[in-house]
Amino acid sequence: MQESEVRNTKPFPLDGVGVGLGALANRLPKGVVRRRPCCPVNSADAPPLQPLPHRGGEACRRLRQVAFGLAFALAPAAAQAHPGHGAFDLAHGLAHPFSGADHMLAMLSVGLWAALRGGKARFAWPAAFVTAMVAGFALGRFQPIAWPVEPPILASVIVLGALTAAQARLPLAVGVTLIGAFGVAHGYAHGIEAPGSGLGFPLGFVLSTAALHAIGLGAGALLQRFGRPELVRLLGAGAAAGGLILAVA
């Protein structure tokens, strides 16, 4: 076992969820689900992170404050679920993912979870979301089906936040499938919401979505670099809590 893995196994309130998911994965036939990597040979796809030596002190305290602040800021932000649309041009497309807590929390979580997972997931999972979102947009825009729009989106916030909080190390393809399905849901909502839109609106929300993924990835990578993956998990827990608030609000 890598030294970094030993250092990163601090107890966390949601550890039980991660253990449960791991146990579930281990019950499946070998080859269907890759077990948690136990040696560098198995984890060629996800090279272990080498966090900087933990120096503690002021920088760490500030990091923790920022993470806590973000986690608590995310939940009330959820109160404004999903704003309407004034127009369907590039500017509104750019603004939309940032203005609705449901989109924002899910998209940030994709980045955070991908950062925790590491390896190819850091590119493949956000790319899967964006690609599937474009397909979902086309479906909603040109071939709407009788499908509830908001429940799958709220489910995406809760599930992606919880998987981040649990630091669930799902296989790359399982993550791509799950994240892709959620991406379709978000894109479908945009397609339904944006009748008669040109290319500006979809281009705008694609760019903003990629930016939110990048913010999540960057924050996740930075916190791990400081040897504080539990703060990434805390942000995921905040997103999941925000999703739950949205669901019952």
- Rounded Cα distance between 29 and 21, Å, is 15
Residue with smaller CB distance to Zn ion, 159 or 189: 189
Half-sphere exposure of 224 (CA within 13 A, CB side): 23
Q: Could you give phi then psi for residue 32, rounded to 5 degrees?
A: -75, -50
Q: Which is nearer to Zn ion, 165 or 189 (CB)?
A: 189
Which of positions 176-195 make contact with Zn ion (CB under 5 A)?
189
CB 190 → Zn ion: shortest distance, Å?
Answer: 5
Contact map string, positions 143 to 182, toward Zn ion, x by CB under 5 A = ----------------------------------------
- Cα atoms found within 13 Å of the Cα of residue 186, Cβ hemisphere only: 33
Query: Residues in contact with Zn ion, total (CB under 5 A)?
Result: 1
Nearest approach, Cβ of residue 107 and Zn ion (Å): 11
CA distance 52 to 168: 23
Nearest residue (CB) to Zn ion, 100 versus 126: 100
What's 87-119 look like in SS3?
CCCHHHHHHHHHHCHHHHHHHHHHHHHHHHHCC
Nearest distance from C-beta of residue 82 to Zn ion, angstroms: 6
Query: At closest approach, how far in Å is the CB of 72 from Zn ion?
Result: 24
Please give the residues from 103 up to 122 whose contact with Zn ion meets the rule CB under 5 A: none
Distance of CA 98 to the CA centre of its chain: 14
Q: For the CB of residue 87, give the shortest distance to Zn ion in the complex, in Å.
A: 14
**Burial grade of 45 (CB within 10 A; 0-12, 13-18, 19 or more):** middle
Nearer to Zn ion, 118 or 205 (CB): 205
CB of 199 to Zn ion, least distance (A): 17
Q: Which is nearer to Zn ion, 189 or 234 (CB)?
A: 189
Q: Which two tokens stand for residue 145?
A: 């089906």
Judged by beta carbon, residue 5 or residue 150, the one nearer Zn ion is 150
Structure tokens at 85: 């649309």
> What burial class does residue 139 get, using C-beta atoms within 10 Å of its C-beta: 0-12 exposed, 13-18 middle, 19+ buried?
middle
Which stretches of the chain bind Zn ion, using CB under 5 A?
189
